[in-house]
Amino acid sequence: MECPHLSSSVCIAPDSAKFPNGSPSSWCCSVCRSNKSPWVCLTCSSVHCGRYVNGHAKKHYEDAQIPLTNHKKSERQEKAQHTVCMDCSSYSTYCYRCDDFVVNDTKLGLVQKVREHLQNLENSAFTADRHRKRKLLENSSLNSKLLKVNGSTTAVCATGLRNLGNTCFMNAILQSLSNIEQFCCYFKELPAVELRNGKTAGRRTYHTRSQGDSNVSLVEEFRKTLCALWQGSQTAFSPESLFYVVWKIMPNFRGYQQQDAHEFMRYLLDHLHLELQGGFNGISRSSILQENSTLSASNKCCINGASTVVTAIFGGILQNEVNCLICGTESRKFDPFLDLSLDIPSQFRNKRSKNQENGPTCSLRDCLRSFTDLEELDETELYMCHKCKKKQKSTKKFWIQKLPKVLCLHLKRFHWTAYLRNKVDTYVEFPLRGLDMKCYLLEPENSGPENCLYDLAAVVVHHGSGVGSGHYTAYATHEGRWFHFNDSTVTLTDEDTVVKAKAYILFYVERQAKAGSDKL
């Protein structure tokens, strides 16, 4: 929006010596010393944390508006100027009096000059830090898998995602998807939204509350977020624009309470799929998909209309086979899927760690077998038999008719009881390489041996006791190394740590023919 308060609020020199030292994205709040979501006041250059942390930036504005009867009018006006601040990570500008993001500038272009100065400070700090890490890496052992900095494990060139207030569920899913190479590359190669004409031409576009739903694009903000990750230009990226679009188009995720990561992933993929089915920025998504030679027609699975990159990569097909136990009538139905939700068999639910002695360890294969085994439906799920013309007892069995390029497996860890939703905290053993899906196929003889083998790409983990509480993190592999993504903190880790995780969502990528032959 066009803010009318810039001329009276932007008072600091663009290269003000009052700015703190170091990288702007890691500046600390002057009140609570938090380095999460720092904002700098464009009146006095003081730094405070955003409203998603402890809200000291907003409190700084509110304190400046308190009228002081013992002061002159001019002093009150000067004190009331602290209305505009800038995000030190994304460089977006916000006016508290307008309660919206700002897209215009002062006549002298001071906002843009401050933005460029902060970017220069960030780049200088990053260059110095990268040089320091490179020297440490060169001096370390060639056999070392981890880079140690100040006694902690630190990843090089990996970018975290800032927590905007219980948004760890979103961060874990975004980091996982960013490490699925074919899916991520498709979005990063999409053309950006055309910049607007007129006074704001050439400037970055920010979504504002005054814009309608038709002016927001999940695909565009998702693309921007993926482009920001793994560039190594900053230690943490703030996905505020993407989160705002999520609020706009996914009402279930409005607010700052903890959400279910699996539910968010499904909503995200479904909405990306729907938006990609139409044209965007004057370019047909289907034409872009057809130009991508690696996503051939044989790999497409249509869900709710035409195929997109979502269904081409995550889409598979299940065959649901139901048999009437009275007359033997068989009914078959084919259902497309983007992920499979697997129950953890009840006989394993008391074993909470890999090394616990009481009973055998549950494996991913046990969960898959439970999903595909023949099951007799209970009295509440009687099948309407067309031959008997009434509801009858029946059996049900799932077969996988077509495997996807990326197999997403969701372990159902949350179950409703009479009054609350409990978590199944059972450890489930899963392979890092060579998950063999051939025995679950409807026609395994029609699939080559390599087409049924999958290697792990990412794992989402829920820490805590309930779906409405706790914390989400993710493990993912990138260029042969495993990383742990915990909001803005990213650390190198090893395979032994990954396999001990209590997985909630697993992302397996179809193995290429040249890979080895390890099997589950």
Helix, strand, coil distribution of the chain in percent, nearest 5: 30, 25, 45
pLDDT in tens, 390-445: 888 888 888 898 999 999 999 999 877 666 668 888 999 999 999 999 888 877 66
For 504-513, give one letter per residue: b (16+ CB within 10 A) or e. Answer: bbbbbbbbee
**0.85 surpassed by pTM:** no
What percentage of the chain carries pLDDT values higher than 70? 73
For 258-289, give one letter per residue: b (16+ CB within 10 A) or e. Answer: bbbbbebbbbbbebbbbbbbeebeeeebbebb
Give the integer Cα–Cα distance in Å for 1 and 18.
Answer: 28
Q: Which domains does the chain have, with CATH numbers?
A: 6-66+80-126 (3.30.40.10)
Q: So what's the pLDDT on residue 199?
A: 43
The yes-or-no verdict on residue 7 having pLDDT over 80 is yes
Which residues are part of the catalytic machinery? 168, 471
Give the integer Cα–Cα distance in Å for 23 and 37.
Answer: 13
C-alpha dist (Å) from residue 160 to 30, 220, 232, 257, 476: 23, 20, 10, 21, 13
pLDDT in tens, 310-327: 999 999 999 888 888 888
Strand-strand pairing, 279-280 and 84-87: unpaired
pLDDT in tens, 499-514: 999 999 999 999 876 5
Q: So what's the pLDDT on residue 76?
A: 43
The yes-or-no verdict on residue 74 having pLDDT over 80 is no
Q: So what's the pLDDT on residue 446?
A: 61
pLDDT in tens, 80-103: 578 999 888 777 888 888 888 787
The residue that leads in pLDDT, 446 or 223, is: 223
pLDDT in tens, 146-197: 444 334 444 457 889 998 888 999 999 999 999 999 999 999 888 876 533 3
At residue 274, what are phi and psi to the nearest 5 degrees?
-65, -40
Q: What angle do CA 5, 6, 12 make, to 5 degrees?
A: 130
Cα–chain center distance at 101: 23
pLDDT in tens, 329-387: 888 888 899 999 999 988 887 656 666 656 688 999 999 998 888 888 877 778 788 88
For 440, the enclosing helix (H) or strand (E) is: none
- Rounded average pLDDT over 265-274: 94
